[in-house]
Copies of this chain bind each other. A is one copy, B any other.
Amino acid sequence: MNKSIITDMDASDPLAKKRADFEIPAGKIYLNGNSLGPLTRAARARAQETIDQQWGQDLNASWNRHHWIDLPLTTGAKIAALMGAAPSQVVCCDSVSINLFKLLSCALQLQSDRSMVLSQRDNFPTDLYIVEGLSHLLGSSHCSLRLEDAGSLEPALDSRPAVLLLSQVNFRSAELHDISRLTQLAHENGTLVIWDLSHSVGVLPLELDKWQVDFAVGCGYKYLNGGPGAPAFLYVADRHLANISQPLSGWMGHRAPFDFQPSYDACDGIDQFLCGTPPIISMSVLDSALEVFSDVSLAQLRAKSVQLGELFLSLLGQNDSLAELQLQSPENGANRGSQLAFAHPSAYAISQALSAAGVVADFRSPDLLRFGFSPLFLSFADVWESIQILVAILADERYKDPAFKQRLKVT
């Protein structure tokens, strides 16, 4: 494959124009949007407006004048639109971990005769830690955790768990679960599902309502580009909203918070999942970052994401680098999310060498290199350039030389 083919791919890419919405640092190829999405122009402008005008000038009047009080729901509705969910079922608040605690409590409440949470051994760890925390609080007879490898999850549903808790995209390998199929199998066993969509939302087409998902959580700072530690979100299917009460019952989930009544009276809707006062600056930034999705479809994003990954793999193959970099992700793009992981004994050094050469990838202990493909701002030329740099680094093993980084800066 030569560079002119790449140029043609970019020229015919309907998403190519979206890169102008982002502030990608000059000279960097950012293959880490799966860890922290980059700054958008909209987010920079909204942060300034929120700080200078809304907070600085209008002060506490902004809770109403600039609709701060509605932000968890309005931002939630924008996220719902990316997940095939009616807007009344998604709210933006807190962190993934805290939201998962709320949803786990609710799911166990609905399953009064069951207590076991089934999850995957290499699920993202915070999800497992939160089950542990709830189990410790309630006692193992009310909440216990069973861990299985990916291939053993379906048979384990026979043991009739209360909850099946999974991430759609494995955070290391990007291997995909079939949400529709596993949700249906779970329901056939009387099991409720909680999906962690942190590595999914904004890059994978989702149909939460159609798939009859019960609950979901996800973060705002990966493919949603909401900024470091952006607030998270949660989804609860409408059919459950009337039958649950979540334990983190702070005043923002009260039906009339400004009546200051001593007794809690939860909102009816998804706003019952609010707790304390939301971090308005961080949430406004996330809200504005979602604007870049207004004129694109998830099908377009998914198609380009798969193309970017395929190109990366095929160029690596052409350069005979796939023997050295052991692919840890599914080979078939349809079976993985929007990243590729490779094992290499010098993964950390290579990630540092790449970074010094302007290619930002991620290292995951102990030996994984992870490359993320955000279709909103990456070009096919970016993939081409990053492969040239990666292959050069692998070829002469310069990354093993302590002086390497310095030399690269000079040349």
Contact = CB atoms under 8 A, between A and B. Distances in A.
A410 to B, nearest CB: 20
Contact of A281 (B232, B247, B281): B281
A232 B251 CA distance: 15
A261 B124 CA distance: 9
Contacts of A23: 56
A264 B129 contact: yes
A390 to B, nearest CB: 18
Nearest to A276: B95
Interface stretch (A132-140, A157-165, A313-321, A396-404): A132-140
Contacts of A271: none
Interface string A31-59: 01001101100011001100110111101
Given A136-B247, A228-B281, A355-B61, A98 B276 contact: yes
A47 B44 contact: no
A276 to B, nearest CB: 2
A382 to B, nearest CB: 15
A215 interface: no
A47 B39 contact: no
A349 B68 CA distance: 23
A98 B98 contact: yes
B62 A228 contact: yes
Contacts of A262: 121-123, 125, 128, 147
Interface in A265-313: 275-283, 285
A228 B147 contact: no
Contact of A248 (B133, B250, B260): B133
Contacts of A57: 25
Interface string A361-390: 010110000000000000000000000000
A21 B380 CA distance: 48
Given A57-B25, A364-B260, A251 B47 contact: no
A56 B35 contact: no
B30 A260 contact: no
Interface in A59-113: 59-63, 68, 94-98, 101, 105
A227 B281 contact: yes
Given A98-B275, A251-B129, A258 B365 contact: yes
Given A60-B35, A101-B248, A355-B61, A280 B228 contact: yes
A346 interface: no
A389 to B, nearest CB: 17
B285 A251 contact: no
Interface of A: 23, 25, 28, 30, 32, 35-36, 38-39, 43-44, 47-48, 51-52, 54-57, 59-63, 68, 94-98, 101, 105, 121-126, 128-130, 132-134, 136-138, 147, 171-172, 219, 221, 227-232, 245-251, 254, 257-264, 275-283, 285, 355, 360, 362, 364-365
Shortest 9 CB-CB distances between A and B: which pairs? A95-B276, A97-B250, A133-B249, A126-B251, A228-B280, A279-B282, A97-B276, A137-B247, A129-B264
Given A121-B262, A137-B137, 20 more contacts: A28-B59, A39-B51, A44-B52, A48-B48, A68-B228, A95-B277, A97-B248, A126-B251, A130-B249, A132-B249, A133-B249, A134-B247, A136-B249, A138-B138, A221-B277, A228-B281, A229-B278, A229-B283, A260-B365, A281-B285
